[in-house]
Structure 1
Amino acid sequence: MKFKNVPMNPLMIRRAPIATIGEPWPLPQKYEVNENIVFRITEPLNIKIRNNTCDVLESAVKRFEENVFRFALEEYYTNLVHIEGSGFESLDKKYQHSKYTKAVNLTTFHIYVNSACSKYPKLQSDESYSLLIKNFGIVLMSDEVWGALRGLETLSQVIFSWKDQYFVRDTLIRDFPRFKHRGVLVDSARHFMTKDVIYNVLDGMFQNKMNVLHWHLVDDQSFPYQSKVFPDLSGKGAQHPLLTYNHEDIADIVEYARLRGVRVIPEFDTPGHVYSWGFGYPDILTQCYTNSRKVQGYYGPLNPARNSTFAFLKKLFTEVMDVFPEKVLHLGGDEVPLECWVTNPEVSALLSRLNRITTPSYGDVMKPVWEWYTNRFINILKDIRQSRNEAGQYILWEEASKNNLNIAKDAIIQIWLGGGKEILKALDQGYRVLFSSCWYLDHSKYGIHWTDYYLCDPTHHNIKYQPSLINDLKRREDKILGGEVCLWSEYITSESLMSVMWPRASAAAERLWSSSTVISIQSAGRRLQEHRCRMLRRGLQVGHINGPDYCLLPKHRNDFKSKNIKKRNAEKMEEMNLGYRSSLVFKKINVKFRAISYRTSI
């Protein structure tokens, strides 16, 4: 807070921005609103799906009705109305205006989807939509069902409540995403993430128009994916036998995501980050040596010198492709400890057979083996796809292009270390690109920092003072598929994930969806305040974003909470009773056992 005509401001009263009401996030491409005309939404709203429909649309309509008529945000109140000279004194009177009391009722909502529904979303899916809110009703139009989903979410955000009634402004929206791929990475290997938390992540993604869940399933620390063809991967590699995802769990998550227009891309990182694979199947890993001697238990990347390793990969990924319907797989390829390969005689012999011995710095000598492994692995995956008459795509981390590996140009490179120069390098090599470098949410810091995520753009990250490079990137933006927010879980658990991820990930969501010209921190800050409260109101335990503020929860949620407390108390009492009864049974058994022991001793 600042005061006029005061040379110094010793009070330093920090406050979050005054939240908007009935404003969407992310901001649509074309958004025209007449603030002086509002319509009253009647409950129930007569929703008519005019042509194509399917389970995706019908379930989205049900969620829309719940979000509007149970969770719609109430008009914002600020205690600054009580401070003379604050400029907010007349705020209460603003909403007594006749535009609210004389608002025309809107009773019908028409939804038009031009094409028959596809079962699963894909990179090429059309998410564009048009939304018209006029005195004759509400009309949502889209070419594909995935656009209708985005339009339904926008409509749910622009409807707000005032004095227990629902209102919406005269609005025209024509909208589409700037980037096709707008992802969130969840790491379930360092800390196991429960299904409920993953569901919550997907709900947050839907509310922010994100459309790819990059699921980093396994890593050095654990292998929670339950494989039927190699059961010891999770049987011995999971952090605990109960902390695993079976095929039914994955099917549930994929289905939950599908109904929200979200693709689920699994990542099984290789050839590095595979130590947990060796708990059950050590023979597929490279034994590391020191001074020509084996170091017991010291295993490095997958062993590329053994045909059995690739047979293992073929069998495992044939199953993975059965379990995950998504045609894109993330193959990892980052932080490969080449030094271990250098020490291993089998891998050294493979390098000799490749006949590409060079003398670069220690470790780099194994780049030909790394390149050979990657190409052989990708060719195996392509053969599996070809046998099924289907196409597939593959994502690799930045190291592939950074180290000039000569691999298939249909691969997608995910930039996580560098900025615009690294993007250009990958584009020059013929790859398409995803970007993540500035959206690592696990790199948390104190205070307001969503602005860093919000102003970060793939077309000028770390090259803002080099116009020629920026212009080159902008000309080739169609090769930048989008980006991902990454939340690595070394220090994130199921209990903390949501509050760390949201609403900070929302900043990147708007950058990936909205026009590149939408960069006003002041405007975004107010809408983000509203959006945070909206996600909280809908039941997501999101974190702070802008400093001192508040969010009102609806009355029914308090009722729901009290019912839950009563239910939990009843369940607790039942557990206590069960425990008491069990202890009595145990005592009786113990008495009998002692009696038998006594008779036996006699």
Structure 2
Amino acid sequence: MHKLLTFFYLLTLSCWSQNPIQSSLNLMPWPQEVQENEQQFTVTPNLTIAINGPSGMRVPHTATSFLRRLSNRSGVFINEGFPAPFSNDSTASITVNFKTIAALSIETDESYNLQVTANGISINATTDVGAIRGLETLLQLLENDATSYYFVGVNITDAPRFVWRGLMIDVSRHFHSVDVIKRNLRAMASVKMNVFHWHLTDDQGFRVESKTYPKLHTVASDGLYYTHEQIKDVVAYANKLGIRVIPEFDVPGHATAILTAYPELGSKPDASYTIERFSGVFNPTLNPIIEDTYTFLENLFTEIAPLFPDAYFHIGGDENAGKHWNENEAIQQFKADNNLATNHDLQTYFNIRLEKILNKLGKHLVGWDEIMTPNMPKTAVIHSWRGENEGLQKGGTLIEAAQKGYKTILSNGFYIDRMESVIKHYQTEPIGTISLSAEEEACILGGEVTMWSELVTSLTIDSRIWPRTAAIAERLWSNKTVTDVNHMLKRLQVINYNLEAVGITHLRNKAVVLRNLTNNQNIDALKTLTNICEPLKIYSRNEGGTEYKTYSPFTLFADACTADAMDALQFNHLVKHFLADKNEATSAEIKILLTRWADQYELFSKLEKNPKLTPLEPLSLNLSQVSATLLNLLNGKKVPKKTLKECKKQITLLKQPFADTELMIVNNLELLFEALK
């Protein structure tokens, strides 16, 4: 780990140096104001926490968790394992002061002040939510030398830039248990995220128990759903962490599972439906012209809404092509009779009726940006997801919604299931360069990371969400000027390992997948390959490669690989600088990596082969031979023309996908080869 951090420190000095932060602290998200005081508070067995504020669950829960994580990380046997009221411990090492218990909403005050000196630590906040945000920052200040662990001396004043900093998890395409949800809630809290968007229904499954319409969970879920008690448990758990829970029931499209249970609500007369097993956009759609549809939704939402105390309720509303609407003569006649020129107009009619239902239940409607039409009431919240990042600079759906007076949240640029680099996500600025009035800017509530689960199971979901989501959390919390990519990368490496302490499995489960690939043989060669290969991006793994069903194997090589393959990042950076100055120190670092890749085939070749490993054979072999040739060239050895010609062919071969992954170093292997041959 130390060597990796050293690499990122050097990287910070050499490129991407926008608005560099002159600090070695590993805080994420970066606070609004940080002043270091050159003091430190040493962690000893006598450390105690006192709570000075109204009685509630959030601060005691977080303070107790803080003590466990502190003790585990430092190895210090802390004598008092629980916080105490201030009246019982007025000389506590850490004093947490706050005035009110917050009712979670977009108005919640999350600000805090944190002071660390040699004599003690204090956290001061208006609300208990601000206080627990301060405790998370304090834990990130833990450092050590050879003799002790200590908190770095600081004075921090902090508050979020945006009020909505969310993570959406899709549990329809692949179901994820309560334990999976809870560990991700803990990780969210550790980086100060405050909205969990629970995508509960789609074509592949309806994941909520319904006592009003029981076929939704008995017929349309494959037996994988959350009971009312489980939902209440998750909502209560999130509340203790200062996280709001927003449910999503996607209608009128993405409705195959609903129609599997209640086909009479469909737009295609006399059709039969079965739960969808593939990924994609499908035609089954609720019928918007029959009263039974609205009776069904009102009864369902009346049952479900009380499980989710938050004021917001997401109805989806995306990707309805309207094919079954076009094929239904009664629907076409309804459109003509009601002056609805397009299917978009018909969906607006549907959405307005849903909004009235939700308003009666005390809820604000949230929907994907397709719901934004001239007739949609301004009380709706627009969830922006379409278009490229560049579109935001020219006024994408987020900006358009704000300019029209809608509250709006951004997910465009934060689709982490696309397996793109954390750098791209980090550089997605919600407001961009558009000039907005104060009222328009206030309409932009924040953003959400979206984890669509077509290609993830509970074994791999953490590796797709984390650590990249921590960087997006910073984009939504920190000042707009905090944009230094390399300072972020350096801090992210520390946060990456800290996430394990809250139960995230993104690091440990890689070995589980690799052992499955090798049938429990030595996995070192495959580990080497996962550090330079990444899954195919932007859905090409599913669309242009293998076609996966919901029950296909997700324990393959691509599932062990992640975005931002570490050795690839390092090698590509080193080659860039070597080609610029032919520095011997850089050459030595390149040789270390090339030696590793040249040697990995010997390990790979010793594995007893199976059908899961066979597709990786040409990757391992050709990488080994190319790396050996480049090593000889770097060492000044004479390489036969035949070998050079073969190396060029091998590099071309390495440009193709292998087992739904791509080799992220191949372009720089080629650049290095052309420069040296």
TM-score, scaled to structure 2: 0.66
Deviation at 1:340, TM superposition (A): 1.5
Structure 1 counterpart SS, 2:231: helix
Letter in 2 for 1:393: H
Task: Work out whether 1:393 is the aligned partner of 2:364.
Answer: yes
Which amino acid is the alignment partner of residue 385 of structure 2?
W
Please give the secondary structure, in 2, of the residue aligned with 1:186.
Answer: strand
Per-residue deviation at 1:135?
3.1
Task: Give the 3 Å change call, closer, same or farther, for CA 483–473 of structure 1 in structure 2.
Answer: farther
Distance 1:372 1:225 in 2: 26
SS in structure 2 opposite 1:172? strand
* Matching residue within 476, 479, 500 for 2:464: 500
Q: Which residue of 2 aligns with 1:368?
A: 345
Deviation by residue 1:271-304 (Cα, 9 ceiling, x = unmatched):
111110011111111116xxxxx76649621111
How far apart, CA to CA, are the structure 2 residues paired with 1:307 and 1:367? 19
Residue 371 of structure 1, CA deviation? 1.3
* Alignment of 1:177 onto 2:160: yes
Question: What code does the residue aligned with 2:484 have?
Answer: S
State the alpha-carbon separation in 2 of the partners of residues 173 and 508 from structure 1: 21
List per-residue Cα deviations over 1:395-420 (Å, max 9, x = no partner): 1101122xx34111011101100342
Match of 1:406 in 2: 375
Deviations 1:173-207 (A, max 9, x none): 00000000000010000001111111111011011
Amino acid at match of 2:354: F
The Cα of 1:427 is off from its aligned counterpart by 1.9
CA distance, structure 2, for counterparts of residue 232 and residue 216 of structure 1: 19
Note the 1:159-238 alignment, pairs <5 A: 159-163=142-146, 165-238=148-221
More strand, by proportion: 1
Aligned-pair CA distance for 1:165: 2.5
TM-score for both structures, normalised by structure 1? 0.74
The aligned residue for residue 453 of structure 1 is: 425
- Counterpart-to-counterpart distance in 1, 2:252 and 2:144: 54
User: Map of 1:294-313 to 2, 5 A cutoff?
Assistant: 297=273, 300-313=284-297
Q: Which amino acid aligns with 2:230?
A: D
Q: Unaligned 5+ residue runs, structure 2?
A: 13-22, 77-90, 274-281, 508-561, 569-677
Q: Equivalent residue for 2:236?
A: 255
Q: 1:433 aligns with which of 404, 408, 422?
A: 408
Give the CA deviation at 1:22.
5.4
Q: For 1:111, what is the secondary structure of its paired residue? A: strand
| Letter matched to residue 541 of structure 1 | T
CA contact (8 A) 1:285 1:299 kept: no
Q: Which residue of 1 aligns with 2:359?
A: 382
Select the structure of larger CA radius of gyration. Answer: 1
The residue type equivalent to 1:123 in the other structure is: I
Q: Does 1:518 align with 2:490?
A: no
Distance 1:44 1:153 in 2: 21
8 Å CA contact 2:403–2:440 kept in 1: the answer is no
Q: Does 1:28 align with 2:31?
A: yes
1:110 to 69, 89, 95: 95
Q: State the partner residue of 1:53.
A: 55
**Paired AA for residue 71 in structure 1:** R
Which stretch has the larger CA shift, 484-493 or 47-56? 47-56
Q: 3-state SS of the aligned residue for 2:233?
A: helix
Alignment length (residue pairs): 470
Distance 1:23 1:494, change over 3 A: same
Q: Give the distance between the partners of 2:296 and 2:204, measured in 1 at CA.
A: 20
Amino acid in the other structure paired with 2:474: E
Note closer, same or farther for the CA distance 1:142–1:236 as it changes in structure 2 (3 Å cut). same
Distance 1:531 1:41, change over 3 A: same
Answer whether contact 1:128 1:147 (CA < 8 A) is retained.
Answer: yes
The 3-state SS of whatever aligns with 1:54 is coil
Instruction: Identify the residue that residue 246 of structure 2 maps to in structure 1.
Output: 265
**Bigger relative contact order, structure 1 or 2 (CA pairs below 8 A, ≥6 apart):** 1
Q: Is the 8 A contact 1:217 1:266 kept in 2?
A: yes
Aligned-residue identity in percent: 32
Are the equivalent residues in 2 in contact too, given 1:48–1:109 (CA < 8 A)? yes
Instruction: Indicate if the aligned counterparts of 1:16 and 1:546 stay in contact, CA closer than 8 A.
Output: no
Look up the SS of the partner of 1:265 in the other structure.
Answer: strand
Q: Which has the higher helix share?
A: 2
Q: Point out 4+ residue stretches in structure 1 off by more than 3 angstroms.
A: 13-22, 161-164, 294-299, 473-476, 543-546
533-542 or 342-351: which moved more? 533-542
Could you tell me which runs of 5 or more consecutive residues in structure 1 were left unpaired when the two chains were aligned.
1-12, 75-105, 289-293, 359-364, 386-391, 461-466, 550-602
- Name the aligned partner's letter for residue 306 of structure 1: I
